[in-house]
Amino acid sequence: MSIIDQSGTFPIGNSRVRRLGYGAMQLAGPGVFGPPRDHDAALAVLREAVASGVNHIDTSDFYGPHVTNQLIREALHPYRDDLVIVTKIGARRGADGSWIPAFSSQELTQTVYDNLRNLGLDVLDVVNLRIAFDLHKPAEGSIEGPLTVLADLQRQGLVRHVGLSNATAKQIAQGRGITEIVCVQNQYNLAHRADDALIDELAQEGTAYVPFFPLGGFTPLQSSTLSDVAARLGATPMQVALAWLLRRAPNILLIPGTSSVGHLRENLAAAGLTLPHEAVEELNHMADIAA
């Protein structure tokens, strides 16, 4: 039994994955643009993740662009039967590395084919539609047009399951009228908890919630509360941040990102960390302090 078995499992589509997974975005070059600084180190992170029991990897063809998908293919293809690769569409990259919304039927279709080719797959396990009425936070607006395109690609057999990213509760409800929504991927971590009510609703409905930036993203979480709790438990702050998320709700699936095997091992070991009640209480107040 590997340590990440202690995180438990939760379904995403028709697969049950370990709750500690891996996010591949950090494998691309600086600014998620271009190749990694160390190609072999990037392959090593992916191989170590899967060898450690990770069976849920999050990616996108716009990371690099194409870079993380090509690394995943090089490191892991042919894929283990139980590996679920979740990708996302709805953006493309400018020549300067900028992030450009890409929601036309032609762009969405093209990016599904790009994901298939670069990952070396005939069918994509899960595709999240990354909504961008506001690039940085969920914002209202109809997703009927782009989600209908994605649902058509699903009917054609190119996509098994559909999820939403950067989504509001209203958009999730609208999406469910178009196709089954198997997961929601929004920003959430110890210091950023705008989705508290949404997580509880999705948990009741049995839908996976996958927080992006679980460690704070490009600026990893820093707080004296977090450091104090970690020191008392003989753990690292990042492990405490992940253990808190695992405890927060049973439908939370983690995809911490890292380009380092050392950090990967540290993060996966969070599955074995039990937070005492008092520590959870202290950590629960971190968002108030950060706000």
Ligand X SMILES: NC(=O)c1ccc[n+]([C@@H]2O[C@H](COP(=O)([O-])OP(=O)(O)OC[C@H]3O[C@@H](n4cnc5c(N)ncnc54)[C@H](OP(=O)(O)O)[C@@H]3O)[C@@H](O)[C@H]2O)c1
Catalytic residues: 63
Q: Which C-beta is closer to ligand X: that of 26 or that of 115?
A: 26
Place of tokens 């508290």: 196
Cα torsion through 261, 70, 125, 130, rounded to 10? 90
Closest approach, Cβ 99 to ligand X, in A, equals 9
Q: Which C-beta is closer to ligand X: that of 65 or that of 216?
A: 216
> Looking at 220, 247, 249, 284, which residue binds ligand X (CB under 6 A)?
220
CA proximity to 259, closest of 64, 42, 40? 42
Residue 11 burial by Cβ neighbours in a 10 Å radius (0-12, 13-18, 19+): middle
Backbone angles phi, psi at 163, to 5 degrees: -130, 175
Q: What is the DSSP letter of 270?
A: G
217 binds ligand X (CB under 6 A): yes
> Looking at 9, 70, 223, 260, which residue binds ligand X (CB under 6 A)?
260
Q: Which C-beta is closer to ligand X: that of 29 or that of 250?
A: 29
216 binds ligand X (CB under 6 A): yes
Cα torsion through 154, 165, 254, 244, rounded to 10? -150
Q: What SS3 class is residue 88?
A: strand
**Which one of the spans 110-118, 140-148, 192-200, 212-220 is the region binding ligand X (CB under 6 A)?**
212-220
**Which one of the spans 19-27, 171-179, 224-232, 273-281 is the region binding ligand X (CB under 6 A)?**
19-27
Strand 181-185 with 84-89, pairing: unpaired
Closest approach, Cβ 1 to ligand X, in A, equals 22
213 binds ligand X (CB under 6 A): yes
Q: Which C-beta is closer to ligand X: that of 23 or that of 53?
A: 23
**C-beta nearest to ligand X: residue:** 257
Closest approach, Cβ 71 to ligand X, in A, equals 12
Q: Which helix (H) or strand (E) holds 86?
A: strand 84-89
201 binds ligand X (CB under 6 A): no
Q: Which C-beta is closer to ligand X: that of 57 or that of 149?
A: 57
Closest approach, Cβ 60 to ligand X, in A, equals 7
250 binds ligand X (CB under 6 A): no
Question: Distance between CA atoms of 60 and 42, rounded to whole angstroms?
Answer: 16
Q: Alpha carbon of 16 to those of 59, 70, 118, 246: distances in Å?
A: 18, 25, 25, 16
The residues binding ligand X (CB under 6 A) are 23-26, 58, 88, 130, 165-166, 185, 212-217, 220, 238, 255-260, 263, 266-267
